[in-house]
């Protein structure tokens, strides 16, 4: 699959029909009771999303969400609204994400700007994100993971509140087949849009194991239900590395919170564990494993939940106890996040992704609800995939 094909495949329908204007609230005291009413607002439509001109020189020092011309800026604010309650356009070129966190743009990228940023000709626009807070210093080597986003900020990790926003923007870059450029240091990250293989369904209707088995057999006749493969025992080197990381986390935490506070939190945690062990909650759920060929497996887990991703927070059915069904790829091998997967791996991933989509589509058709991807964004599946 070419880079352009992958980018086109990632541009799924993200226009969720969500209003992204900044809505004011009017609070009125009447008979000693507080009433809240929404003031009428005017949807700015496309006017707030228009290009703000060439990328300013000062914006190069900010983190940048870089996108292709195939992306409508409306998709950016639709994804932002699906993640954060506060998201919405405040003025032309200013999209609030959460609290004091904003994106500015879109800005145009000409040939000179692309050369400076180190991106290809596919990149035509960018949104700038400036951290409103201060960083928390370098990340200790023992706490570094192989994830490229963590390594890109190893010299000055953003504060926790900003880190959550950056993770959301990085997920948007993956969903929209774009790139994320770190302002400090200039690291350029291009998350693989096809790497998000797993899907999750939230539905108001439960499905019994026997019924799901029959549905899977009907939806994917070529797949066979099997026993789950045994997990691999970690090597001695892996266990030693895990102990070093746990020790580093403890030292890092004590240095910032103090040993007394760490001990207090540890006591609370132990008390909670003891209470949970004495009053175990009933386990509701099951899992089915499918052999997907070429040593790949697909795991379908079913359980109950009362928590839904933010994108479903307005759905009238998304309250109380819901069925949570996750359809995930269990790959025989996983390449390091910073390494481009081999062609064999990419072909296998695409084949399994199509099977996952067929399964999720069939289950969704039966139960209703909604399907989201690994990053919590809404997915609109093609009915013909059933």
> What's the pLDDT tens digit per position in 224-255?
777 765 556 666 666 777 777 777 777 777 77
Cβ burial of 279 (10 Å; 0-12, 13-18, 19+) is exposed
What's the confidence (pLDDT) of residue 249? 73
What's the confidence (pLDDT) of residue 251? 74
CA–CA gap between residue 54 and residue 64 (Å, rounded): 14
What's the confidence (pLDDT) of residue 233? 62
> How many angstroms separate the first and last alpha carbons of the chain?
23
Residue with tokens 């951290």: 131
Q: How confident is the model at residue 364 (pLDDT cuts 50, 70, 90)?
A: very high
Number of H helices, E strands in the chain: 9, 15
What's the confidence (pLDDT) of residue 31? 47
**Per-domain boundaries in the chain:** 3-191, 196-230+283-385, 236-278
What's the confidence (pLDDT) of residue 266? 83
The structure's pTM equals 0.77
What is the CA 228 to chain-centroid distance, rounded?
27
Residue 107 pLDDT greater than 90, yes or no: yes
Reading the block at residue 94, the tokens are 């200013």
Q: How confident is the model at residue 220 (pLDDT cuts 50, 70, 90)?
A: confident
The DSSP call for residue 231 is P
Which of 151 and 128 is assigned the larger pLDDT?
128
Reading the block at residue 314, the tokens are 């307005």
User: Which class is 196-230+283-385 in CATH?
Assistant: alpha beta
């Amino acid at each position: 699959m070419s880079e352009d094909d992958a980018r086109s495949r990632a541009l799924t329908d993200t226009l969720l029909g969500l209003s992204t204007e900044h809505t004011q609230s009017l609070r009125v005291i009447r008979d000693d009771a507080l009433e809240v009413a929404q003031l009428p607002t005017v949807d700015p439509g496309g006017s707030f999303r228009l290009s703000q001109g060439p990328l300013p020189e000062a914006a190069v020092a900010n983190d940048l969400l870089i996108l292709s011309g195939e992306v409508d800026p409306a998709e950016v604010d639709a994804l932002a609204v699906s993640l954060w309650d506060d998201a919405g356009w405040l003025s032309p070129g200013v999209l609030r994400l959460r609290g004091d966190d904003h994106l500015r743009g879109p800005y145009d990228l000409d040939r000179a700007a692309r050369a400076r940023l180190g991106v290809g000709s596919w990149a035509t626009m960018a949104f700038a994100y400036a951290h409103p807070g201060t960083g928390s210093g370098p990340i200790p080597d023992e706490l570094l993971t192989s994830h490229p986003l963590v390594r890109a900020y190893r010299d000055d990790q953003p504060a926790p509140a900003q880190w959550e926003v950056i993770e959301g923007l990085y997920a948007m870059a993956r969903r929209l087949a774009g790139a994320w450029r770190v302002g400090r240091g200039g690291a350029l990250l291009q998350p693989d849009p096809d790497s998000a293989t797993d899907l999750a369904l939230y539905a108001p209707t439960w499905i019994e194991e026997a019924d799901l088995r029959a549905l899977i057999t009907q939806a994917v006749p070529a797949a066979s239900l099997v026993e789950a493969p045994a997990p691999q025992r970690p090597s001695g080197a892996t266990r030693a590395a895990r102990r070093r990381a746990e020790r580093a986390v403890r030292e890092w935490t004590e240095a910032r919170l103090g040993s007394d506070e760490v001990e207090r939190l540890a006591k609370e945690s132990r008390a909670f564990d003891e209470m949970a062990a004495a009053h175990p909650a009933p386990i509701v759920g099951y899992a089915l494993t499918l052999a997907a060929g070429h040593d790949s497996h697909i795991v379908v887990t079913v359980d109950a939940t009362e928590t839904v991703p933010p994108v479903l927070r307005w759905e009238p059915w998304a309250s109380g106890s819901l069925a949570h069904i996750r359809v995930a790829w269990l790959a025989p091998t996983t390449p390091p996040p910073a390494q481009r997967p081999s062609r064999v791996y990419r072909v296998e991933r695409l084949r399994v992704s199509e099977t996952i989509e067929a399964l999720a589509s069939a289950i969704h058709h039966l139960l209703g609800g909604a399907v989201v991807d690994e990053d919590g964004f809404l997915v609109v599946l093609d009915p013909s995939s059933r």
